[in-house]
Amino acid sequence: MHLLNRYKETITDGPGLRYSIYLAGCAHRCPGCHNTASWNPSAGVPLDEEVLSDLIEEINSNPLLDGITISGGDPFYNPDELATLLRRLKEATHLPILVYTGFTIEVLESVARYQQALAYIDFLIDGPFVYALRDPSLQFRGSSNQRLIDLGQRYHR
């Protein structure tokens, strides 16, 4: 798994003040994608133990953060490594986690290798970017097919 970028404080990737982690790799190839450089899974730097410790330290040193956002690319490009990353972030920070993905929740719930990561996600913004449905007035989303889903509420946890 490769880290493309990190934003220590942002208000554009979900509700409140968030720490955003951008992961490399995406196979959806949405026409009009805002970041085609993120499709390459080898872009950025390896997200190894040292980098992860650094991210966690930065997150835990900022008491103003409301949550963590994982974007890309599509974080579900590497579902097993994503589950491990989310578990480590959750255990170390106890902050709500929002994940962007080009898959719909229906697809993620129906494929076994995606389900493990869902257990650590509080909010999901799902679905591919659809150029014909693009709407700059939407909060946190690029096109109107994408949904902000409260997984805590969905799974009664």
Q: Which residues make up the interface to ligand SF4 (CB under 6 A)?
A: 26, 28-30, 33, 35, 38, 72-74, 102, 128-129
Burial class (CB in 10 A: 0-12, 13-18, 19+), 108: buried
Least CB distance to ligand SF4 at residue 66 (A): 23
Least CB distance to ligand SF4 at residue 99 (A): 12
C-alpha 141/C-alpha 143 separation (Å) is: 6
- In total, the chain counts a number of residues equal to 157
Of the two residues 29 and 154, which places its CB atom closer to ligand SF4 in the complex? 29
Measuring CA to CA, which residue among 121, 33, 34, 143 is closest to residue 75? 121
Residue nearest to ligand SF4 (CB): 102
Least CB distance to ligand SF4 at residue 8 (A): 21
Of the two residues 74 and 122, which places its CB atom closer to ligand SF4 in the complex? 74
Of the two residues 90 and 134, which places its CB atom closer to ligand SF4 in the complex? 134
Q: 97 phi and psi, to 5 degrees?
A: -115, 130
Least CB distance to ligand SF4 at residue 52 (A): 22
